[in-house]
A and B are shown apart, each in its own frame.
Chain A
Amino acid sequence: MNSSKAQNTLALTKLNLRHDWLKIVLWILGLAGLMAVAAAKFGGIYGTQKAMNTIAETLRTPAMVSLLGPFTATKPYTTAMIYGSEMMVFMGLFAAMMNLYFAVHATRAQEDTGTSELLLAHAVGRQSPLLAAIAELAIINVAAGVIEALGLQAANMPGADAAGNWLFGLGLAAFGFMFGTFALLFSQVVSNARSATILSYSWLGILFVARMGADIQDPDLTWWTIFGWIEKMELYTNNVWTPLALMLGMSVIVLAVTIALAASRDIGAGLITPRAGRARASRFLQGPLSLLARLERTSTWIWLIGMFLLGVSYGSIFGTVGDLAKANPTLSKLLGGAGTDAANKAIILAMANKLAIIFVVVATIPALLTILRLNNDEKKGYLELQHAAPISRLRLFASFAGHGLVVGSLSFLLALVGMVVAGASSATVTISAARYLRGFVGFWPALLVVCGIGALLVGLLPRLQSLVWILPIYGVISLYLGPLLDFPTWATRLTPYGWVNEVPVKAIQWAPVGWMTALACVLFVLGYLAYRRRDLTMN
């Protein structure tokens, strides 16, 4: 590559960093803070050998392996080993998400808004925006990795050593960077930021589910799932650096392909050239709701099918999860046949509860995306032509809110249905579909309330509407990791997801279902009233 293609890369990198610094700082502080706080707390929660033995047993169960990755440490356990095993996959997921965001943001999103065109008209090399994005990702990840490692050093967990701390921090950095490079690659293939994000997240989802399956079936297979590399570092036990090298190697290969692809395409275009479309609109396209359904068609299918498959992949491990005879033969013998069945059933239902939380949080994403889209489309000017048409604000607001709720609710339901169907065929004990679907009835109102809060922000505080994302992010942290981190009850009740009891293990509490649904309705109505009263154009 000659220098003219890379001219002013440094200047662009600085520009990106200056533009994104607040987001970068928030992400890094969030990730490093979560790790440091958890590390500091682990000493208290898992301080004794007895507590560690108990949690180690739990972590070895297939249910926990599917969620958090395998627990490979051997006795005597240390707090750090427990920590490494519990946090690695989870933190990896977050590191990957951070990188997907910045990668698409620094490349395809800039092309969408025309910023790239403006820059390339100056003395800026053709490859410079891409190289600047790579540099930005590298800087973000190195900074995050170093700060995370320093945080772990400061937390000074029993059993933690410098090698393990640095491997954790830098391993996350390499892991995140690798997913950043995947997103850069996808940003070359498709022709807009939205598709690039969808593709990147689909890829992350596929690898995550593959890792889960491999961990349950045969941990050796996990090497092939890419995502699983992060588990193979065996933190605080063997501290293996090979996966880190693999991640960097993969990043280099992906980047080489990305740069080659970028060189062979036009700015603003993808590798897939858009086909000519229809000259006339289909009969179906009649109003704002059908327009939205048409615009969201592809992503709706991806969500519905993806969530169903996610449910199926978790359900299919119920057989392994609820097999006490294999996992703990001594206990199984002790309990006898009926006792073992009851225990298996309890294990599966407890897992179904955890899964319902994950499904409902994930299903919130498409719902919120659509609800927030009302203002995002507004900002892009897409709605101005509709505003001049006889479309009431109620109809517009209700279209976005309704479409979001339907897709979110269906995604949630399909994930549970997938889990039920696959669970029924894999589990050794029979649990009725109605029992599993208590999870839907219980958690669905939480989805409604979170969406209601989103709708209220859309109407009342459009500039701050992105704040609603705190709810699902904190929700998954508090409920997924909360029990392991010994969160106090109030801390798990900060989001609506924490207001739901342990369905389907326990019976549905109809009172919260009722008042949460009512609260959601009120929030939607208030959101609409605020939306009706205000100016529409924000650009």
Chain B
Amino acid sequence: MMADVLTIDHLQKKFGKFEALKNISFSIHQGEVFGFIGPNGAGKSTTIRTLLGILKPTAGTATIFGEDAWAEAVGIHKRIAYVPGDVYLWPNLTGGEVIDFLLRLNGEAHSEKTDALIKKFDLDPTKKARTYSKGNRQKVALIAAFSSDAELYIFDEPTSGLDPLMEEVFQEEVLALKAAGKSVLLSSHILSEVERMCDRIAIIRQGEIIEIGSLQAMQQLSRSTVHVATTQDLSAIKQLPAVHQFTAKSATQATFSVDADQLGAVMTALTPLGITQLQSTPPTLEDLFLRYYNQEGDGHEQQ
């Protein structure tokens, strides 16, 4: 059992009457890349800002390295690196100055790694921040974060302004952190990115965590899509309780989804019909995400 670097317990945050966070609980284990996904306005950034001690929790607790995120913010911040979703830099400073400044705030210095990152991210550090695009401003914050030797890295939609090449560089760097045993909290909209890198994922909706676990576990709880062709009429399959969204292309060809834990039973029913083609795909994170979101207010199961 590895120690948790971050624990959020029944966290609530109200802005006036608006409940931005209703009930957030999750923890991040040592050395884990944790994905945090949800649509705009679900409370991802609010959660992260509470973790950083920028916002004060209305109720519940958030602890990092076992210390209270609000009360011990300064001590905690020595051991973390953060990249916000919208990076705003002082317009009069150059990118290079900002990177050095941010490193120094954490008691670190510009190193060879910093130069390597500047090169890798293809940033011109001599330009004033005023002239940088959104992507370039993000690069500045990313270089400072990757260049620092933290224990926990928090990224809030860090790649929203990056081009695909730079996104690739970002993923490489995160995987390098993972290999080095660092913990990462990654909030993202790019689900393929989360799918590829994250050990566990939390899905947030309207200020509540609605699902949490590894992608595999989520897939287990969900449905696989099955494309099948048989020699005999397979319309009876539609009647099985584990089969959903059954669409028949012809009497012997169909696509449907199956509750993941009932896949075996469905196969047993299909076998006598003479399978000529079979393709079963586990749900992608995108499928999961859309499914969790579409069932909002419709009860847990949707037929």
> Which A residues are closer than 8 A to B by beta carbons?
191-192, 274, 276-282, 285-287, 291, 294-295, 380-382, 384-392, 533-537
Contacts and interface: CB of A to CB of B under 8 A. Distances in A.
B100 interface: yes
Contacts of B18: none
Contact of A537 (B49, B96, B107): B49
Contacts of B89: 382, 385
A388 B128 contact: no
Contacts of A535: 15, 54-56
B44 to A, nearest CB: 14
B131 A274 contact: yes
Contacts of B80: 388
B90 A388 contact: no
Interface in B48-75: 49, 52-56, 73-75
A286 B92 CA distance: 16
Contact of B102 (A192, A276, A279, A389): A389
A280 B100 contact: yes
Contacts of B87: 381, 385
Contacts of A388: 52, 77, 80-82, 84, 154
Contacts of B75: 390
A400 to B, nearest CB: 14
Contacts of B125: 279-280
B97 interface: yes
Contacts of B110: 280
Contact of B88 (A191, A192, A382, A389): A382
A385 B126 contact: no
Interface of B: 15, 49, 52-56, 73-75, 77-78, 80-82, 84, 86-94, 96-102, 104-107, 110, 125-128, 130-131, 141, 144, 154
Given A281-B98, A537-B49, 18 more contacts: A191-B130, A276-B126, A276-B128, A277-B94, A277-B96, A277-B128, A278-B96, A279-B125, A279-B126, A295-B90, A295-B93, A385-B84, A387-B54, A390-B75, A390-B106, A390-B107, A533-B56, A535-B15
A536 B55 contact: yes
Given A278-B126, A388-B80, A392-B74, A537 B55 contact: yes
Given A278-B126, A390-B74, A536-B54, A385 B82 contact: yes
Contacts of A537: 49, 54-55
B105 A287 contact: yes
Given A274-B128, A388-B80, A281 B54 contact: no
B77 A279 contact: no
Nearest to B50: A535
B21 to A, nearest CB: 12
A192 B96 contact: no
Contacts, number: 109
18 contacts: A192-B91, A274-B131, A276-B126, A277-B127, A280-B97, A280-B100, A280-B125, A281-B93, A285-B100, A381-B88, A382-B88, A382-B89, A382-B90, A385-B144, A388-B82, A390-B77, A535-B15, A537-B54
A386 B144 CA distance: 12
Grouping DSSP codes into helix (H, G, I), strand (E, B) and loop, the B interface class, with mixed when no group exceeds half, is mixed
A435 B186 CA distance: 65
Given A191-B130, A390-B75, A281 B92 contact: no
B97 A387 contact: no
Given A385-B87, A388-B80, A281 B56 contact: no
Given A384-B54, A387-B54, A286 B126 contact: no
Contacts of B90: 291, 295, 382
Contact of A285 (B55, B73, B97, B130): B97
A277 B88 contact: no
Max chain B Cβ within 10 angstroms of own Cβ: one of A281, A286, A387? A281
Nearest to B49: A537
A387 B107 CA distance: 15
A534 B97 CA distance: 30
A278 B94 CA distance: 7
A403 to B, nearest CB: 14
Pairs of residues from A and B, 9 with the lowest C-beta to C-beta distance, nearest first = A381-B88, A281-B100, A388-B82, A389-B105, A277-B94, A279-B96, A390-B77, A281-B97, A276-B126
A286 B75 CA distance: 18
Given A384-B54, A384-B84, A535-B55, A285 B104 contact: yes
A382 B90 CA distance: 6
Contacts of B141: 385
A511 B101 CA distance: 44
Contacts of A384: 54, 84, 88
A336 to B, nearest CB: 61
Nearest to B81: A388
Nearest to A380: B88
B127 to A, nearest CB: 6
B300 to A, nearest CB: 34
A279 B94 contact: yes
B88 to A, nearest CB: 3
A464 B138 CA distance: 32
Nearest to B79: A390
A277 B82 contact: no
Contacts of A381: 84, 86-88
A274 B84 contact: no
Contacts of A281: 93, 96-101, 104
Contacts of A382: 88-90
Contacts of B97: 277-278, 280-282, 285
Nearest to A388: B82
A533 B56 CA distance: 8
Contacts of B105: 287, 386, 389-391
A384 B90 CA distance: 11
Contact of A385 (B56, B102, B127, B131): B102
Contacts of A287: 104-105
Contacts of B15: 535
